[in-house]
């Protein structure tokens, strides 16, 4: 019986997570199932409704947030919290019960 693969979903804007994605692919090997959600649209300063940009259903063991728009990051963290999915948001200036923001 094999080891359960870890499902990681990465959210990025304009390639902001490509180096990290490359590292996960390189060092995660066959133990990781990686999904990448790339948002490359030009976005307004304030997004009232993030539904057009974020998937309605997130199935992951871990989410990596490399989004640069704060409204997208906030809504992503909220959706993940509802599903009990941990989020790592590198480089962000905020922390929360469901959001881990390691120093960069």
- Is 1 a residue whose pLDDT tops 80? no
Q: What six digits make up the tokens of 33? A: 């199932």
- Alpha helices for 1-104 (secondary structure H): 18-28, 70-82
Tens digit of pLDDT for each residue in 53-104?
999 899 999 999 999 999 999 999 999 999 999 999 877 655 555 555 555 5
pLDDT at position 75:
93
Confidence of residue 3 (pLDDT cuts 50, 70, 90): confident
pLDDT at position 52:
95
How many Å apart are CA 95 and CA 67, to the nearest integer?
15
């Amino acid at each position: 019986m094999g080891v359960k693969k870890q499902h990681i979903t990465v959210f990025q804007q304009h390639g902001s997570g490509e180096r990290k994605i490359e590292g996960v692919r390189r060092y995660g090997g066959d133990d990781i199932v990686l999904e990448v959600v790339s948002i490359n649209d030009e976005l307004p300063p304030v997004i009232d409704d993030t539904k057009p940009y974020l998937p309605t259903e997130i199935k992951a063991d871990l989410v990596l947030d490399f989004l640069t728009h704060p409204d997208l990051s906030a809504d992503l963290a909220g959706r993940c919290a509802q599903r009990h999915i941990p989020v790592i948001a590198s480089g962000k200036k905020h922390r929360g019960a469901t959001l881990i923001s390691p120093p960069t």
